[in-house]
Amino acid sequence: MTPPRICALVGRFSDPRVAESAQAVLAHLAGRGVPVRVDAAAALASSPGAIGVPLAELGRSADLMIAVGGDGTLLYAAGLVARHGVPLLGINRGRLGFLTDVMPQDIPECLDAALAGRLDADERPLLLARLHQADGTSSECLALNDVVLQKLATGRMLDFETRVTGRYVNTHAGDGIVVASATGSTAYALSCGGPIIEPQLDILVLAPICPHTLSDRPILVSGGSVVEIRLLERPDTRAQVTCDGTILGTLVPGGRLQIQRATERITLLHPPGHEYFRLLRSKLHWGRGDIER
């Protein structure tokens, strides 16, 4: 990776643990003469070493985006830089941390590695979700982990059908469906019974949420597929569409949701020696004993 000259920093700074690590990042980078930009509306913007800028400029004004928090914070940061080609580094102050894999005690060493261009770059595909309404309007959003269609407000099951690159797959009844990238296979799709997928594989997961029929199981399709979802007519049928937890809009009968691989990609940065299966063993408590094989 190219050594960064300007960094951006995001996090839920109202959390004392996040604020503590963010201050450590600011202090270390200030000592190295590297400017750090933060959202001008954040309390951290008044801290020594921080430069406040409008949030809309944060993603395009830096060479490196640093996310302090959990995976949700990194997904939020990914949305800020997705269209600008800025790499992401995650510092873990959350729970699991599949994506934020730098521990607080390793901040100085990892930042020095970043400034020297010695972090491992890991390119991940993004998903593009397009929500087409019956009136001809449309909206779109990028996602690193997943696009989720789920029941809204009424509490009633949804009836919907799926197609993959124009081919009819199934008519579902249930609470919704998760369409996940390989990166997102360890997120919501996993709780729906989906498999864990090595991130380098070009695959999409379609995982029904609480399906009414037990045979309605998660399936894997090619990463180059176009997934289309349509709601069937039922009284008060509405569904919410989210991209990495951010609301894209509401789908009603007559509209359609399309999900496919985006042209943009995200680059995640890892400490030297990062290894995916070691990460899985650590986060999911796999293995017997403490012996590293």
Instruction: Give the pLDDT score at 232.
Output: 94
Amino acid at 87: P
Collapsed DSSP state (helix, strand, coil) of residue 60:
coil
Find, among 154, 118, 11, the residue nearest to 75 by Cα.
11
Q: Where are the alpha helices (DSSP H) in the chain?
A: 16-31, 55-58, 71-81, 107-115, 188-191, 276-284
Evaluate whether residue 227 is within a structural domain. yes
Q: CATH number for the domain including 110? A: 3.40.50.10330
Give yes or no: residues 86 and 206 share one domain. Answer: no
- Whether residues 173 and 206 share a domain: the answer is yes
Query: Do both 41 and 95 map to the same domain?
Result: yes
Residue 293 lies in a domain: no
Instruction: Give the pLDDT confidence score for residue 284 in this predicted structure.
Output: 87
The span from the first CA to the last CA of the chain, in angstroms, equals 29
Question: Do 132 and 107 share a structural domain?
Answer: no
Active-site choice (15, 39, 63, 71) = 71
Distance (Å, whole) CA 240 – CA 4: 38
Q: Is 4 helix (H, G, I), strand (E, B) or coil?
A: coil
- In one-letter notation, the amino acid at residue 176 is G
Q: What is the pLDDT of residue 155?
A: 73
Residues 38, 45 contacting (CB under 8 angstroms): yes
CATH number at residue 170: 2.60.200.30
Whole-prediction pTM value?
0.93
For residues 97 and 207, state if they share a domain.
Answer: no
Looking at residue 43, its pLDDT comes to: 85
Q: Which domain holds residue 52?
A: 7-119+271-284
Mark whether 71 is an active-site residue: yes
Contact, 59 vs 18, CB < 8 A? no
Query: What total of structural domains would you count in the chain?
Result: 2
Q: Is there a single domain that holds both residue 131 and residue 186? A: yes
**Consecutive 10-residue runs of the chain (293 residues): their mean pLDDT?**
87 94 96 94 89 92 94 95 94 86 93 93 97 94 97 85 98 97 96 96 97 95 98 87 96 95 96 89 78 53
132 and 203: one domain?
yes
Asked if 241 contacts 227 with a C-beta cutoff of 8 angstroms, the reply is no
